[in-house]
Amino acid sequence: MKEEEMKKVLVVEKVIHHYLTVREAAELLEISPRQVLRLKKRYLKEGPQGMAHKNRGRKPVHAISDTVKEQVAELYRKTYHGCNNTHYAELLEERETIKLSTSTVRRILLEKGLKQNNQRRRKKAHQPRDRKAQAGMLWQIDASPHAWLEDRGPNLTLHGAIDDATGQVVGAVFRLTETQEGYFTVMRQAIEAYGIPMGIYTDRHTIFRSPKEKLSLEQELAGETQPLSQFGKAMAELNITHIKAQTPEAKGRIERLWGTFQDRLIIELRLLGVSTLEEANRVLPELIAKHNAKFAVKPKEDSSAYRPVKEGLDLRYVLAVREMRQMGPGQTISYGNRLYTVADKDSPTIEPKTLVEVRQATTGEVVLFYQGRVIPLRQTEKPQRQSPPKTKKTGSAQPRKPAEGHPWKTSRKRPNQNQLQRSINTISFEDKMYSQHNSYAKALW
């Protein structure tokens, strides 16, 4: 018996032996007098054991069966391994029609040894920044390289943008690496779906800022403005305030989003059997909609800060790579080691050597942007320049071979044996005369 039940036995015995009144016993046990009378009646009928709880030793009716526990553990081992407790409880209800609370799922996994009861570390206190009041006031954009497909496919980089006021993912796309084209695709998705935001928050990657962003003192005195990256030029044309964060904590909203995606999105992609980049991008909109339905919040103000896209503004050519070129003769432009010419005959004639802007969309299409007008271009063949005929250089004549009887050839012939012997005898005679001369000179000395 528990200590509380032992106390009931002692008090009820004193009531039976008239050492305490019913009212005094009720005050000691902190129960009503009617309940004291019930306990006294039970004691007289069953003895001290009647004070014990009647359900002790019996399994509750609403308890989870061992079969369900084994099923939950087996599903986690084979299919849902790596899920957190909350996500696993949601997937069990959504895909397996097993409705359990998060705490129940956690308790089952701990009992089966599939998870450890790790104590959380106390995080450093950080003052959170308040959300913006209206949707569209600020977007945070970033990319996260990760093994999103685990071992089924290549490592991918997820580009995404989140609204600061609502926590809603407004655009996302997978690419093999972090690229400018990926960010342009995300911005186009988001603007077409919601509108143009007032501001955007990024890190200091060279995609977002020019490497030559710092100007010298002479340049500042000359009144030059800071150079912009390709992404910065697009934001300036759309009149979007571009803020570049100094630390990852400054854009904590999207950093937290990557933690949620790396915890949940990997499991969802595994359950759908996704193994390629194309399949991942195909199912991504559905997964983003599911995420927004669960995690998006209502902004403080119902009014929106989004601006509509101006009529006639084509986002394909705004979110594009821009380069300056000089118009050549015949309305031609050289770009990317290719030659382009104006495709529309009704386009205005541009004088040669005029400085114009060439824009290349994410689809690879190249257009000419001149005086606020988009002029389509088409690729043409480069003219084949004929090389001048080769002329003989001075002194390049072939050397002449002498005839067989030429003295150059006869002097180089090998001497016969008699000539060679006569030469040897002559050399020997000269050496002998030289030796006698030396002996005579020494005698005179």
For 261-272, b where at least 16 C-beta lie within 10 A, e where not — what string?
Answer: beebbbbbbbee
Whether 231 and 183 have beta carbons less than 8 Å apart is answered as yes
Higher pLDDT, 228 or 100: 100
Mean pLDDT of the chain: 85
Reported as a pLDDT band with limits 50, 70 and 90, residue 375 is: confident
Closest-CA residue to 199 (of 230, 227, 226, 161) = 161
CA 41 to the chain's CA centroid: 73
pLDDT of residue 421 exceeding 70, the answer is: no
316 is written with which tokens?
Answer: 């394909």
Mean pLDDT of 270-284: 96
* 243: β partners: 201
Closest-CA residue to 79 (of 69, 91, 68) = 91
Whether 170 and 283 have beta carbons less than 8 Å apart is answered as no
pLDDT at 222: 46
pLDDT at 238: 94
Cα-Cα-Cα-Cα torsion 36, 38, 41, 42, nearest 10 degrees, comes to -110
Question: DSSP code of 372?
Answer: T
Give the separation between CA 258 and CA 305, rounded to whole angstroms. 25
The Cα-based distances of 260 to 255, 271, 305 in angstroms read: 9, 17, 27
Mean pLDDT of 237-261: 90
pLDDT of residue 409 exceeding 90, the answer is: no
One DSSP character per residue, 19-88 reads SS-HHHHHHHHTS-HHHHHHHHHHHHHH-GGGGS-TTTTS--TTSPPHHHHHHHHHHHHHT-TT--HHHH
pLDDT at 228: 84
pLDDT at 219: 46
Give 1-24 pLDDT, tens digit per residue: 788 888 888 999 999 988 899 999
One DSSP character per residue, 319-371 reads SSEEEEEE-BTTTEEEETTEEEEE--TTSPP--TT-EEEEEE-TTS-EEEEET
Whether 114 and 177 have beta carbons less than 8 Å apart is answered as no
pLDDT at 212: 67
Reported as a pLDDT band with limits 50, 70 and 90, residue 378 is: confident
Share of the chain above pLDDT 70, in %: 83
The Cα-based distances of 419 to 407, 415, 425 in angstroms read: 18, 6, 10
Phi/psi for 391 (5° steps) reads: -110, 150
Reported as a pLDDT band with limits 50, 70 and 90, residue 257 is: very high
- The residue with tokens 């990760």 is 146
**Residue 330, Ramachandran bin (φ over 0: left; ψ between -120 and 50: alpha; else beta):** left
Give 299-353 pLDDT, tens digit per residue: 999 999 999 999 889 999 999 999 888 888 878 888 888 888 888 777 778 888 8
pLDDT of residue 415 exceeding 60, the answer is: no
pLDDT at 432: 57
pLDDT of residue 204 exceeding 70, the answer is: yes
pLDDT of residue 65 exceeding 50, the answer is: yes
pLDDT of residue 436 exceeding 80, the answer is: no
Reported as a pLDDT band with limits 50, 70 and 90, residue 170 is: very high
pLDDT at 87: 94
DSSP helix/strand/coil, 225: coil
pLDDT at 327: 87
CB atoms within 10 A of CB 143: 23
pLDDT at 273: 94
Give the separation between CA 359 and CA 365, rounded to whole angstroms. 8
180 is written with which tokens?
Answer: 């400018």
- What are the residue ranges of helices labelled H in 195-251? 217-221, 230-237
One DSSP character per residue, 96-160 reads S-----HHHHHHHHHHTTSS--PPPPPPPP--PPPPPSSTTS-EEEEEEEE-TTTTSS--EEEEE
DSSP helix/strand/coil, 222: coil
Give 216-248 pLDDT, tens digit per residue: 555 455 454 667 889 999 999 999 999 998 888
CA 432 to the chain's CA centroid: 98
CB atoms within 10 A of CB 332: 16
The distance in angstroms from the start CA to the end CA of the chain is 146
